[in-house]
Amino acid sequence: MIQPYGGTLIDRLLSDRQLTEVLDNTNRKITVTADDLINLYNIAAGCYSPLDGFMTEAAYRSVIHKSKLPSGIDWTIPVLLRINGPLKREVTALCAPDGSLAGAIEIESIFEIKNKEFSERVFGTADHDHPGVSLAAGRPEICAGGRISLARSKAAALRHLHTPHEFRRRLAGTGKTSFTAFSTRNICHIGHEYLHRIALEIADILGINIITGAEVNGRFMPDVVFDAYERFIARRYPDGMVMLNNLRLPPIYAGPKEAFLQAVVLQNYGFTAFIVGRDHAGINNYYSKYASQEIFEKRTSLDIAIFPLSEPRFCTVCRKVTTERSCRHDGDEVRALNGSDLRRFLAGEKYRELKELLSEDMREVLLTIVKERNGDVFIKETT
């Protein structure tokens, strides 16, 4: 199989007894956020290999100034543990927001960052209208770096969530050799189906990675997306050729740099190729249309192949899904395909308009789920 990024697949998941031994009755503790817990899991489970802990100051400086780890391989997003209050360089307990013990960190670096510099380097802007900038501005500027451990009992038992070790065993069990990854947060519209068909023509297995962990008010609930994909796959695709995976990521909104991080994680999961489309991981108009493809021309440490595919759109002249490379029509002759229109039509009960975005199979699946849930399919802002 493809090698994990950096050559080593990290595993820092421990039993409760092992974690107690690591902490050795320390009374030092840090209470982490829900987003920190996602990063903690991704480090411990090997998703962020070769990272084995939250970044030290040396690693952070290398990433924001060079987009590289100190080892010299490409890395684009700092993975930081931001803290409140003074700490010492020692083993410290990591507690979940509810106060329960989750893991440990062997603190070797305590350092200060500047949120403005962080945002300018990571997002390419310090504009507070950018959601990533806004989130970063509200976080502490003191960070603790060092190797971590996570209690295996705290590894979330979420739907379709696998560690890279588990998922690699699953891929190996197919007896196949080529595995293409597609990542999404949304219900499958006809543009996504177009990309799936390309992947299935050139690879043995298509892995559909549903990104969770950055739930946003008004978007589809992750369970709704999983339900829809499970039923759609059973209707549409040959048995054994499509797999689902839960790709847990905290809210980042870093466009091309986030696309690169996704590629790292997917290589660690064992995928040999990754479909990167229009405005991948982008937000509003902060990044150019194909910036998330262009970054892979500069960052070349990955072994996973990148498939930079053009944006699918529906051509009203050709009467099918095309791209700017496969038909000459443009302007009013083509119709954009996107999740925001899908959610708008569904929320407004404009079910006839769904025919513009969804295949008959997916439309039937989605409307059945809406009926089963009495219309409760969108994330609602909590107070």
pLDDT in tens, 56-105: 999 999 999 999 999 999 999 999 999 997 789 999 999 999 999 999 99
Q: What is the pLDDT of residue 383?
A: 37
Tell me: pLDDT of 278 over 70.
Answer: yes
Q: Phi, psi (5° rounding) for residue 264? A: -60, -50
Q: What is the pLDDT of residue 380?
A: 85
**300-322 as b/e: b if 16+ CB within 10 A:** ebbebbbbbbbbbbbbeeeeebb
pLDDT in tens, 310-357: 999 999 999 999 999 999 999 999 999 999 999 999 999 999 999 999
Mean pLDDT of the chain: 95
Query: pLDDT-derived band of residue 381, with 50, 70 and 90 as boundaries?
Result: low
Q: What is the pLDDT of residue 382?
A: 53
Tell me: pLDDT of 221 over 90.
Answer: yes
DSSP bridge partners of 21: none
pLDDT in tens, 9-51: 999 999 999 999 999 888 899 999 999 999 999 999 999 999 9
Structural domains in the chain, sorted by start: 5-154 (3.10.400.10), 164-372 (3.40.50.620)
> Is the preceding peptide bond at 256 cis, omega within 30 degrees of 0?
no
> The pTM is what?
0.96
| Whole-angstrom distance, CA of residue 271 vs CA of residue 273 | 6
Q: Span 174-189, mean pLDDT? A: 96
Pairing of strands 101-112, 334-336: unpaired
Token pair of 166 as six digits = 């588990």
* Cβ neighbour number for residue 94 with a 10 Å cutoff: 26
pLDDT in tens, 144-153: 999 999 999 9
